[in-house]
Amino acid sequence: MHRSGATMAWNVFKFCTALRALGSIMILLVLGVVGVTYYAVVLNTYGPALYAGGFDFLVAFVVLILFHSLLVMLLWSYFAAVFTDPGSVPPNWRPAIDEEIGEANPLVGSDLNNDVPSDSSHQRIRYCRKCNQVKPPRCHHCSLCGRCVLKMDHHCVWVVNCVGALNYKYFLLFLFYTFLETTLVTASLLPLFLAFFSDGEIPGSPGSLATTFLAFVLDLAFALSVLGFLIMHISLVASNTTTIEAYEKKTTPKWPYDLGRRKNFEQVFGMDKRYWFIPAYSEEDIRRMPALQGLDYPSKPDFNSQ
Ligand SMILES: [Zn+2]
Ligand SMILES: [Zn+2]
């Protein structure tokens, strides 16, 4: 599951990289797909069906309520991912590495501290030559943004932004709501799509039929590709790994940040259940969970002794 998901998403990742030159046009593309879908579902199909009465009214009512609710959540998550800074390194940031090694390994004498074991890669001091600064753990330099990004996952053109510590949750919610919305649209336009291939009379102008056809194909394509991406990110969140780290991990099998599914999930979505499905964090979570600020990540207590 993890492997096939990673392969699928790697293709999407490469696709994103190939499209990077398009820049902000991607926002217009996303809004264009939303517009075509809105026309097909609301204005052309289920809006008029509200006047039909009876069972058709009931179906149209439910579809329209779901469609608009998901659309609000999708756009809210999308623009949160677009406009939230993924996290940059504070000026003069320094790791508290000496105390950490001293406290975590009381049996190791101070004369051995220079010889840090190679498998504790998270404790190695990393330096970015382009930014001329020390890198916090899990931080990576993004060549597109031209700066170091905290817990960088990947740079994706769909949100015209890096996905990192402070907007990863918003990006995941965008994927989640996009999958639900496009699946709803595909299912609700399926009867019309099938009618194209039947002999029966189909109501509507050629233009509106073409738009409905286009919306069905677009939303089906998005539902399928987002599903692959979503499955991969669910397995990444469950193992507390970023997309970049998933490729680095091939050489370092031990993973210090994996604290179990529940804690790994909370490090991305927060501990407050009321905030899990909206692109925001409670102030208390930001205060009590250093991982949400992107500079300090708890690791397995037994990791140093292994
Ligand atoms: Zn850098
Ligand atoms: Zn970037």
* Residues β-bridged to residue 147: 142
The tens digit of pLDDT for each residue in 130-157 reads: 999 999 999 999 998 889 999 999 998 8
Can you give the pLDDT at residue 23?
67
- Most distant pair of Cα atoms in the chain: their distance: 86
Cα–Cα distance for residue pair 76/94, rounded to 1 Å: 35
pTM over 0.85: no
Å from CA of 102 to ligand 1 middle:
28
pLDDT exceeds 50 at position 54 = yes
Q: Indicate the pLDDT class of residue 108, thresholds 50, 70 and 90.
A: very low
Number of H helices, E strands in the chain: 10, 6
Residues 123, 116 contacting (CB under 8 angstroms): yes
Residues 153, 243 contacting (CB under 8 angstroms): yes
The tens digit of pLDDT for each residue in 191-216 reads: 988 887 776 666 778 888 899 999 99
- Both tokens of 25, joined, read 């046009």
In the structure, ligand 2 is a single-atom ion and the residues with CB under 5 Å from it are 142, 144-145, 155, 162
Tell me which ligand sits closest to the C-alpha of residue 17: 2
Q: Indicate the pLDDT class of residue 97, thresholds 50, 70 and 90.
A: low
Cα–Cα distance for residue pair 29/17, rounded to 1 Å: 16
Q: b/e map of 11-44 (b: 16 or more CB within 10 Å)?
A: ebbeebeeeeeeeeebbeebeebeebbbbbbbeb
pLDDT exceeds 60 at position 254 = yes
Cα–Cα distance for residue pair 66/294, rounded to 1 Å: 34
Å from CA of 277 to ligand 2 middle:
25
Can you give the pLDDT at residue 305?
45
Q: Name the residue with higher pLDDT: 235 or 121.
A: 235
> Catalytic annotation on 131?
no
* Residues β-bridged to residue 148: 141
pLDDT exceeds 70 at position 187 = yes
